[in-house]
Amino acid sequence: MSKHVTTMTIYDAEHYSDEEREMIVDGYAEHERDARAKGIPTMGSGAIFPVPEKDIVCEPFPIPLFWRRIAGIDFGWDHPTGVTWLAYDADSDIVYVTDTYKARRTLMPIIASAIKSRGKWIPCAWPHDGHQVKDAKHGQQIAKQYRDEGVNMLREHAQFKKDKKNEAQGSVVSVEAGLQEMLTRMQTGRWKVFNTQELWLEEFRMYHREDGVVVKLYDDVISSSRYAYMMLRKAQELPMDKPRQLQAGWQPSDAGMGY
């Protein structure tokens, strides 16, 4: 028995005039309009990022050579491993989500190969659980196993820079602090996402809270982008000793996949 989901928008409701549709849509909260008017799945009232998607997406473009780059990884097995690549325009203080990867029950060498294919020189941020040993057979911390596979893993797990003058700073690995900084950037036009990065955008639409608590499901790519952002100070420019073809700037070879 097959199932089919039919989505209708308010614009398919022919008994409304254009003026009535506009009035109804204007009555919704801005970040809920795509869901209510167009049937695009989102989490409304509990949304962690209550920002209209149109305010953060942009067309892909070649990344300037002098922009710094960093990746972030969220380790997984039963739940997917997620990886996100960021580019940072320091002059305008804008962070761009340029590429993503997501894989479930996939061996580490395969994931490592995918990460390196985007640029072995790009540093990769990772969470605290990278200190864990995956199993007795390997006997090494997860982060070290990726490092041994040739991934440019940062030396320390993802954390905000400790402000020694601010005793009230709180945890340098705070999830809430990371989310709030990301949200602030979105609301001020300083967090942008290439519109080809559907993996990130799908999670963005569904990322929500229940009873004030972040729901830790379907957040693998979002989390990896948060780790990368926390370590943005470690982002690097393309080394100028790389082959000339890499110095021409980045652009997706497959607009559907984003790489």
Domains in the chain, please, with CATH? Answer: 1-40 (no CATH), 54-248 (3.30.420.280)
Task: Tell me how many degrees the CA angle 117-112-152 measures, rounded to the nearest 5.
Answer: 80
Chain mean pLDDT for the chain? 83
pLDDT > 90 fraction of the chain, expressed in percent and rounded: 62
Q: pLDDT of 168-199, one tens digit each?
A: 455 688 999 999 999 999 999 999 999 999 99
Q: pLDDT of 45-74, one tens digit each?
A: 589 999 999 999 999 999 999 999 999 999
Q: Is the pLDDT of residue 92 over 90?
A: yes
**Between residues 38 and 100, which one has the greater pLDDT?**
100
Q: Is the pLDDT of residue 156 over 60?
A: yes
Q: What is the pLDDT of residue 162?
A: 80
249: confidence class by pLDDT, cuts 50, 70, 90:
very low
- The string of DSSP letters for 204-246 reads HHH-BEETTEE--SS-HHHHHHHHHHHTGGG-BPPPTTS-GGG
Q: What is the pLDDT of residue 11?
A: 65
Q: Is the pLDDT of residue 22 over 80?
A: no
Average pLDDT over residues 108-113: 98
Average pLDDT over residues 68-81: 97
What pairing do the DSSP bridges indicate for beta strands 57-58 and 81-89?
Answer: unpaired
137: confidence class by pLDDT, cuts 50, 70, 90:
low
pLDDT > 70 fraction of the chain, expressed in percent and rounded: 70
